[in-house]
Amino acid sequence: MKSPPAPSAWTLVASLDDHNQTTQTLTTIKNDILKIANQACLTILVDGKTVEIKHKFRLGDKSNLGVIFFLLGGLFLISAPFIKASDTTTKIIGITLGLLLDVFSILTLIRQVADGLQIKDHIITFRHNLRQTIIPLSGNLKIKMKTEVMKIRRVGTLGSDFIIVTHYLQDHNIETQILKFQMDNSNADDAKKLGNELTRIINEKFQQ
């Protein structure tokens, strides 16, 4: 009787939920990387044919709470002129500003869920700011990572500091943004660790 074939060098890695994780370990992606990805609201899927990295929506995330705040503010501006007696000009201004806030908020939420990348059949497909781009793989392509710290200050509060990790597709001297995520700056080391691992995964896939 023949023994079963040895596992391949890649595996399917399922994203972590808040309370559980599913991993078939045939690759070098470790549990700590998956936990960091979960904190960064990212889903990582890797197998012999596909690499897929996507954002996932989490209501409790600070950035999402800010967007929802603007969404509710827009709804208030739309409804306020009708709740309280107002002239026509006030109603028009309130509705216009409210609609702008709501459209911006909704598009931001959609972008956070839709943005991501997939590498399959020697083609990289990525969506950034709701715009999809498809590029055939070539030996000239590689991934470059950059980080920056964003400081948000509010009157009477300590504010918030975020580290933003951005991945660029580099073709000779041309750089195209393909992925971005952020975490609290207190987790900067974890964010950089995750960013470096994503860089490794994508670059390895380019070489296959």
Q: Are 53 and 152 found together in one domain?
A: yes
Distance CA 67, CA 137 (A): 35
> Would you state the structure tokens that stand for residue 65, as one six-digit string?
């709470």
Determine the pLDDT at residue 28. 52
Note whether residue 119 is domain-resident: yes
Note whether residue 22 is domain-resident: no
Report, as an integer, the average pLDDT of 121-146.
90
Q: Are 92 and 175 found together in one domain?
A: no
Determine the pLDDT at residue 201. 92
Determine the pLDDT at residue 89. 85
Report, as an integer, the average pLDDT of 120-136.
89
Report, as an integer, the average pLDDT of 152-176.
83
Determine the pLDDT at residue 113. 77
Q: Are 85 and 124 found together in one domain?
A: no
Determine the pLDDT at residue 155. 62
Q: Are 129 and 52 found together in one domain?
A: yes
Q: Are 175 and 193 found together in one domain?
A: yes
Q: In the predicted model, is pLDDT for residue 167 greater than 50?
A: yes
pLDDT tens digits along 17-66:
433 433 333 345 678 899 999 999 899 988 878 999 988 877 666 667 77
Note whether residue 26 is domain-resident: no
Name the percent of the chain lying above pLDDT 90.
31
Note whether residue 137 is domain-resident: yes
Q: Domain count of the chain?
A: 2
Q: Determine the 3-state secondary structure of 154 from DSSP.
A: coil
Q: Are 181 and 130 found together in one domain?
A: yes
Q: Are 124 and 47 found together in one domain?
A: yes
Choosing from 108, 143, 172, the residue where a domain stops is 108
Q: Are 48 and 76 found together in one domain?
A: no
pLDDT tens digits along 3-19:
444 444 333 333 444 33
Report, as an integer, the average pLDDT of 114-129.
89
Determine the pLDDT at residue 17. 43
Report, as an integer, the average pLDDT of 117-136.
90
Note whether residue 40 is domain-resident: yes
pLDDT tens digits along 89-104:
888 888 899 999 989 8
Note whether residue 77 is domain-resident: yes
Q: Are 72 and 173 found together in one domain?
A: no
Q: Are 73 and 171 found together in one domain?
A: no
Note whether residue 4 is domain-resident: no
Distance CA 148, CA 96 (A): 34
Distance CA 56, CA 115 (A): 9
Distances from the Cα of 164 to the Cα of 102, 129, 182, 185, 190, angstroms: 25, 16, 4, 9, 12
Phi and psi (nearest 5°) for 8? -75, 175
Q: What range does the domain containing 103 cover?
A: 63-108
Choosing from 80, 108, 136, the residue where a domain stops is 108
Residue closest to 135 by CA, chosen among 146, 120, 125: 125
Residue closest to 120 by CA, chosen among 5, 10, 8, 4: 10
Phi and psi (nearest 5°) for 9? -80, -10
pLDDT tens digits along 137-163:
988 899 999 999 988 766 666 668 889
Q: Are 100 and 146 found together in one domain?
A: no
Q: Are 97 and 71 found together in one domain?
A: yes
Residue partners of 125: CB distance under 8 A and separation at least 6? 117, 118, 119, 132, 133, 134, 135
Least confident of 2-6, 154-158, 194-198, 204-208: 2-6
